[in-house]
Amino acid sequence: MIRGKSAIACGVLASIHGLALVANFAAPYSFAAQQREFAWAPPTSVHWLDRHGHFHWRPFVYGTNGADESRMYPLRFFVRGASYRFAGLFPSSRHLFGVDAPGVLFLLGTDGFGRDQFSRLLAGSRISLTAGWLAAILSLALGTVLGGMAGYYGGWLDDLIMRMSEISLALPWLYLLLAGRAFLPLDAPSSMAYLILISVVGILGWARPARLIRGLALSLRERGYVLAARTFGASGPYLLRTHILPDAAPVLLTQMALLAPQYIMAEVTLSFLGLGIDEPVPSWGNMLAGVQHYHVLTSSWWMLLPGIAPAVVALCCFTIADALAGRRGVVPL
Amino acid sequence: MNSPLAHRVSAKAPVKLFLRSSVVVFLALGCVVYRVPAEEYLVTSGAPGKYGGDLVVAERSEPKTLNPVMAVENVSREVIGLLMADLIHINRYSQQTEPALARSVDVSSDGRRYVVHLRQGVKFSDGYPFSAEDVLFTFQVYLDPKVDAPQRDLLTIAGKPVLVRKVDSDTVLFEFAQPYGPGERVFDSVYILPRHLLLRPYTEGKLNDSWDLKVAPAAIAGLGPFRFREYVPGQRLVLERNPYYWKQDARGQRLPYVNKVILEYTGSEDAEVLRFENGGADVVSRLSARNFDALAQRRNPSEILIDAGPSLEYNFLFFNLNDLSTKNLRHIESKQAWFRDVRFRQAISSAIDREAIVRLVYAGRATAIWSQVTPGSKLWRSANVVSSPRSVGKARTLLASAGFSWNQAHKLIDSSGRPVEFSIITPVNNSERVQMLTVIQQDLEEIGIDVHIVTLELRTMLSRITTTLDYDACLIGLATGDADPGSEMSLWPSGASAHFWEVRPTAPPPLWQIEIDRLMTAQMSSNDPRERKRLYDRVQELVAVNLPIIPVVSPDVLAGSKAGLRNFKPAVLLPYVLWNADELFWGARQ
């Protein structure tokens, strides 16, 4: 049973992933749409009370992003807007909410090109979450297989895999990524090039989980039921598949909950260094990359808001990892 | 013994008297044997200042070397410019030449011979006298093919290196193979080397390894306003006042005024700005427009921010027009039919909203350009190149006339029905160029072209445009060191080293390229400034019409200093702010 804080964390995570799935529908604008006259616009104020003090049941915004109080634009649901594919499948032009043109609704303000930050945050969640989970799965899968083999078989195989893990940990991964980016074909779609890079990051991250799983396998292979099965002639792969790895499942789940936010933050780091996904596709990382500039920090506070998203996801994941570890008596590493 | 004088006489008096007499006799003999020339100062026109204080300058990257023979990048050359001096110097503010170590220059009527009269009594920063021998040695080094100095190309006219001869101890003759259009500008930044320190490394073949950043202060000397004192890797480089400097102000005070110039390395422009804002730096330059505005909004009375206007830097887009027949790059060759059609390039130029780039990327502190010569060039900008505002309609008409059309999804397709899409590469570390491309990407989408922006590490990008030629299009910026078109000889003629869009020229070259080659060669060998202007105007017109490059925007030079710094005059020529470091002084600090 998942209870208390971990239940809330699961609910929040599920909501964020659900929003990511229908990001184009939930966002009022296309993530790439530039409304250049609204560059660096602060978040739009949504009102219930007008300038005369009259209450309106339907919330509204003022014209020209709040500058023109003579014109009011009520919020509407299921408005028509930019075309997209709902959940990546069905063509649609309906958006969950919005205002009629020429009114504008920028819940989190705009960037330097007048692109809606809220729409970009939702669209960016797809890239960032996919990157995080993909890298975590790759690194954990590779780490589990190699670590399990090293721990169970021991001997020269153990030595070989552990030395490989040490080399892997010592590799300057940033240079590898720079080299990898340089060799990718230029006409490769940006998202594809980026997913290749993040896969490289995931694959390069196998060493730490492998060392953890090796330790577990070393311990589990001496358990009575494993020794008994081996006495009856069970093969190594069979023992790994049916006894050792299933027993390591709670640790693997905990590791997954820990690794995913780490890789989401790695995406932020990559984008900060300019190795992230290319314009105009947003990710949490490339949205935050702009914050490194002095003028953004001092003049456009709303550009910091996308930083909340990876922080919330990381918090939820760590809460779940903590709960999983607590239930199994496993200390998260 | 009772006289007052008797009280001053002691046992040591005869010794002192002897020493004094010896000095007088020695000096008298010296005047007969060797006449020490009086120092011929150059009197500057800047406001006279007062001595004292240090100047802390925030810099984002460190120099690679202090060796003028090896320095190719601007950061190293900026530091070397503070340590060394040239015979004739281009005033970065007026863009005109002025005498430096040369007291005067006589030019022959055919423009081939320059008799340079050296300033007398000048000393290097270690106190060693400067003479014509140093000039001969310097040019011997720069022209030596084994040394492979970047200055060698500049000093080689019509394939022949300049001939240098000593006329007497203070006069040197320079002879060019043919008249040289830029004239005495060729001597700018050709820094005079100290023969007494570098002759030995040169003869031993170790000159290129000399004067790296680990050099001992005593082992390096120059004729610049400052001398090397200390380098702390990753942190700072400290220069101290050269006590033998050969300039003085109108009051007869020897320059420079400040005791030390401390170059503090921050790693990024934003860190540079923060240091300036916190009082950790006195001078900051190459500010981005957004950071400049953010500083301006704070209205800190202890800071002065200066927009020196359009620089000579021009950012431009170019397509891969190389001959790729020997390369296995079919995917690019297939697109070159588009790129080579001048109507396609004109359509792209017409579709780009330069004013939006000026507004969005540069906050208005830049100028839209349609020619390689920016408004920052006071003498060479052609009035015949007209600006043509963005016109999507014109772009569509041009594309239609070139055989392109649009499919049902409003995407541009060529005559074979193939969708028109290409990638544009740009350096990853230049956020303004990435932003420019984001605007261009949206602009071109309006005419149905899908553009992929690819950011690459700088060396990887340069390798693609100069060696592998594996790219569709590229957006870069160039800042020439001089406004004179002579500095563009490495760019415009076919086969020039920076002829990026066509490193491997096609045969036969287009007629307009042949015309540009002829015009550039002609302006280089003309003595008549008006004729040179006319010829270079025509080059600008040909570039604006045929668009081998698509000029986009020229950013302003933006800099800041603490309010007490006097004579601070940012210029549009590199180096933007420290070009007159010898004249900078502290008034009352706020």
What residue type is assigned to position B96 of the chain?
Answer: Q
Q: CA nearest B302: which of B320, B281, B332, B327? A: B281
Distance from CA of B472 to the nearest CA of A (A): 8
Write the CATH number for B204: 3.40.190.10
With CB atoms and an 8 Å threshold, state whether A190 touches B453: yes
Report yes or no: B438 at the A interface, CB cutoff 8 Å.
yes
Distance CA B387, CA B366 (A): 15
Residue A333 has pLDDT above 50, yes or no: no
Strand pairing category for B42-43 and B247-248:
parallel
Q: Residue B472: its chain A contacts at CB < 8 A?
A: 186-187
Both B242 and B331 in a single domain? no
CA B265 to chain centroid: 20
| CATH assignment at residue B451 | 3.10.105.10
Task: Check pLDDT > 80 for residue B4.
Answer: no
Q: Do A295 and B293 touch (CB under 8 A)?
A: yes
Residue B331, chain A, CB below 8 Å: the answer is yes
B561 at interface of A, judged by CB pairs closer than 8 A: no
- Same domain for B548 and B413, yes or no, is yes
In this model, does residue B20 exceed pLDDT 90? no
Q: Assess B549–A contact: CB distance below 8 Å, yes or no.
A: no
- Mean pLDDT to the nearest integer, A303-327: 88
What's the rounded mean pLDDT across residues B371-386?
A: 89
Asked if residue B16 is part of any domain, the answer here is no
Interface confidence (ipTM) of the complex: 0.79
Contact B291 A295 (CB under 8 A): yes
Q: Who among A278, A280, A292 is closest to B454 (CB)?
A: A278
Q: Which segment, B43-52, B107-116, B345-354, is predicted with the most confidence on average?
A: B345-354
Q: Which residue has the tokens 């920052």?
A: B376
Quick check: is B149 in a domain? Answer: yes
CA nearest to A113 within chain B: B360
Query: Is the pLDDT reported for residue A101 higher than 90?
Result: no
Q: pLDDT digit string (tens) for B54-73?
A: 999 999 889 999 999 988 88
**Tens digit of pLDDT for each residue in A245-272?**
888 888 888 888 889 988 888 888 888 7
At residue B37, the pLDDT reads 62
Q: Is the pLDDT of residue A188 over 90?
A: no
The answer to whether residue B46 is domain-embedded is: no
- Mean pLDDT of all residues in A29-51: 93
Residues B408 and B517 in one domain: yes
Please report the pLDDT score of residue B356 as a whole number.
Answer: 96
Q: Per the domain annotation, does B571 fall within a domain?
A: yes
Q: Which residues pair with B165 in a beta bridge?
A: B173
CATH class of A119-328: mainly alpha
The candidate with the shortest Cα–Cα distance to B331, out of B398, B413, B423, is: B423
Count of other CB atoms within 10 angstroms of residue A119: 28
pLDDT at B336: 94
pLDDT, average across residues A43-66: 91
Considering A182-191, B19-28, B455-464, the range whose residues carry the highest mean pLDDT is: B455-464
- pLDDT at residue B589, rounded to an integer: 59
pTM: 0.82
Two structure tokens written together for B68: 């003028």
Counted across chains A and B, CB pairs separated by less than 8 A come out at 89
Q: Residue B440: its chain A contacts at CB < 8 A? A: none
Q: How confident is the model at residue B490 (pLDDT cuts 50, 70, 90)?
A: confident
CA-based nearest residue to A43, from A321, A292, A306, A319: A306
Per-residue pLDDT tens over the stretch B185-210: 889 989 999 999 999 999 999 998 99
Same-domain check for residues B548 and B568 = no
Give SS3 for B555: strand
Residue B281 is given by DSSP the state -
pLDDT at position B561, please? 95
Regarding whether B225 and B329 lie in a shared domain, the answer is no
Region B247-252: what's the mean pLDDT? 93
Q: Is residue B86 part of a domain?
A: yes
> Which residue type is seen at A271?
S
C-alpha closest to that of A214 among A101, A325, A333: A333
Residue B5 φ then ψ, to 5°: -60, -30
Q: How many domains does chain B have?
A: 2
Would you say A320 and A9 are in contact if contact means Cβ atoms under 8 Å apart? yes
Q: Identify whether B43 is part of a domain.
A: no
Instruction: Tell whether B200 and B321 lie within a shared domain.
Output: no
Which residues have C-beta within 8 Å of that of residue B374, sequence separation ≥ 6? B310, B311, B312, B313, B314, B367, B381, B554
Same domain, B470 and B551: yes
Q: Is B193 exposed, middle or buried (0-12, 13-18, 19+ CB in 10 A)?
A: buried
**pLDDT value at position B32?**
40
Task: List the structure tokens of B490.
Answer: 């490495």
Please give the pLDDT value at position B488: 86
pLDDT value at A204 more than 90: no
Q: Is the domain of B196 the same as that of B260? A: yes
Is B296 an interface residue toward A (CB < 8 Å)? no
Q: What is the pLDDT of residue B434?
A: 92
Residue B456: list chain A partners with CB under 8 A: 181-182
Instruction: Please judge whether A293 and B288 are an interchain contact, meaning their C-beta atoms are less than 8 angstroms apart.
Output: yes
The Cα A66–Cα A68 span in angstroms is 6
pLDDT tens sequence across A81-98: 988 888 778 889 999 999
B65 belongs to a structural domain: yes
- The mean per-residue pLDDT over the stretch B462-487 comes to 89
**DSSP assignment letter at B467:** I
With beta carbons less than 8 A apart as the criterion, state whether A43 and A113 touch: no
The pLDDT of residue B13 is 44
Tens-place pLDDT, residues B124-180: 999 999 999 999 999 999 999 888 888 887 788 878 899 999 999 899 999 998 888
User: What's residue A331's pLDDT?
Assistant: 46
Q: Give how far B353 is from chain A: nearest CA, Å.
A: 11
Domain boundaries of chain A, sorted by first residue? 44-105, 119-328
> B94 pLDDT band (50/70/90 cuts)?
confident
- pLDDT at residue A144 is higher than 60: yes
Residue A141 in tokens: 């899968």
Same domain for B284 and B193: yes
Residue B588 contacts residue B563 (beta carbons within 8 Å): no
Q: CB–CB of A309/A264 below 8 Å?
A: no
Res B552 pLDDT > 50: yes
CB contact B454 to A (< 8 Å) = yes
Q: Are A108 and A121 in contact (CB under 8 A)?
A: yes
Q: Does residue B35 have a pLDDT over 70?
A: no
- Same domain, yes or no, for B231 and B339? no
- Domain around B105: 54-302+563-586
Residues B365 and B289 in one domain: no
Q: Quick one: pLDDT at residue B10?
A: 41
Question: Does position A24 have pLDDT exceeding 60, yes or no?
Answer: yes
Alpha-carbon distances, residue A53 vs A20, A47, B18 (angstroms): 38, 11, 103
Residue B560 CA to residue B285 CA, distance in Å, equals 6
Q: Are residues B269 and B334 in the same domain?
A: no
